[in-house]
Amino acid sequence: MTIIVGGALPDVALFLAQPEGPSAISTGSLFADKKAVLFALPGAFTPTCSARHLPGFVDKAAAFKEKSVDFVACLSVNDAFVMMAWSAKHDATNSITMIADGNGEFVRALGLERDMAERGMGVRSQRFAMVVEDGVVQNLFIDSPGGYGVSSAESVLIYV
């Protein structure tokens, strides 16, 4: 079942991609007492994710802060080392919290996984974004398979 607006995020262990290396954290701890925007995508270094999705949130990071968002996070079913390299490539280190869901446990718990085995990518995340306050989903934006736009920074910013 897919997470819904008003639903609490599942408490799952993830890894933050930080300059000093991967750091384990639970979603319960990460999102407690915070207003956050979480966007997720099929994979780091993939075409749409690299050309549009991540850069859009990097460009709009200050606008989200102006709307009292404590942090903007990018999640992908990649390992933390890939997320760190991707963050560095896009100059996102100071504006976006990069989260590795290497085993896809969080996206499965959300009901937002996507089987991309036919493309050699295994199980990945659907492209989505959400506004989360104190661990509860306030708004949810899910793109259609292969689509992009609903979960873009520009679209999400309207609803924060």
Predicted confidence (pLDDT) at residue 51 exceeds the cutoff of 70: yes
Q: How confident is the model at residue 33 (pLDDT cuts 50, 70, 90)?
A: very high
What predicted TM-score, i.e. pTM, was given to this entire model?
Answer: 0.94
All domains of the chain in start order, with CATH: 13-158 (3.40.30.10)
Q: Which helix (H) or strand (E) holds 15?
A: strand 13-18
Query: Which position among 3, 49, 83, 100 bears the catalytic label?
Result: 49
For the chain, percent of residues with pLDDT exceeding 70: 98
Number of helical H runs and strand E runs in the chain = 6, 9
126-145: pLDDT as tens digits = 999 999 999 999 999 999 99
HEC string of 107-123 equals HHHHCCEEECHHHCCCE
- Window from 28-32, 76-80, 112-116, 152-156 with minimum mean pLDDT: 112-116
* pLDDT (average), residues 5-26: 94
How far is CA 17 from each of CA 50, 65, 86, 103, rounded to the nearest angstrom? 17, 21, 10, 15
* pLDDT (average), residues 31-44: 96
69-124: pLDDT as tens digits = 999 999 999 999 999 999 999 999 999 999 999 999 999 999 999 877 777 676 78
Give the type of residue at 75.
Answer: L
pLDDT score at 152: 98
Q: Which helix (H) or strand (E) holds 136?
A: strand 136-142
49 has catalytic annotation: yes
pLDDT score at 104: 95
